[in-house]
Amino acid sequence: AQSVTQLGSHVSVSEGALVLLRCNYSSSVPPYLFWYVQYPNQGLQLLLKYTTGATLVKGINGFEAEFKKSETSFHLTKPSAHMSDAAEYFCAVSAYGGEYGNKLVFGAGTILRVKS
């Protein structure tokens, strides 16, 4: 069965500082991994995803994530935080072919606060 753990329910950074949001996964099959962002009072929007191939994945808004199989991690980073990055971020693993079709298994989420 697949599962996701996001370390830190709240992360606070200063504007211009590095953003690092941590995600560890567990999967019995080769994982497909996703990061979604949710801005206040909105739905979830895909930031990036890893399927196969290059382990460093670039997404929208300057975010990227690196798949590390040996560490079962898929941490999200951005070199320089912007005020507009303040949102909740969800890591998810695809439970494809499993009991629930191709559902996503989500982590609990990390709220990113950006200080001016």
Partner 1 sequence: NAGVTQTPKFRVLKTGQSMTLLCAQDMNHEYMYWYRQDPGMGLRLIHYSVGEGTTAKGEVPDGYNVSRLKKQNFLLGLESAAPSQTSVYFCASSYGTGGTDTQYFGPGTRLTVL
**Degrees, nearest 5: CA angle 90-91-95:** 125
- Phi then psi for residue 109, to 5 deg, are 100, 150
**What is the nearest approach in angstroms of partner 1 to the Cβ of residue 70?**
22
| Residue 14 within binding range of partner 1, rule CB under 8 A | no
CB-based burial of residue 40 (10 Å sphere; 0-12 exposed, 13-18 middle, 19+ buried)? exposed
Nearer to partner 1, 9 or 14 (CB): 9
Q: Is 24 in the site for partner 1 (CB under 8 A)?
A: no
Binding site for partner 1 (CB under 8 A): 4, 9, 32, 34, 36, 41-46, 49, 51, 90, 94-97, 100-104, 106-109
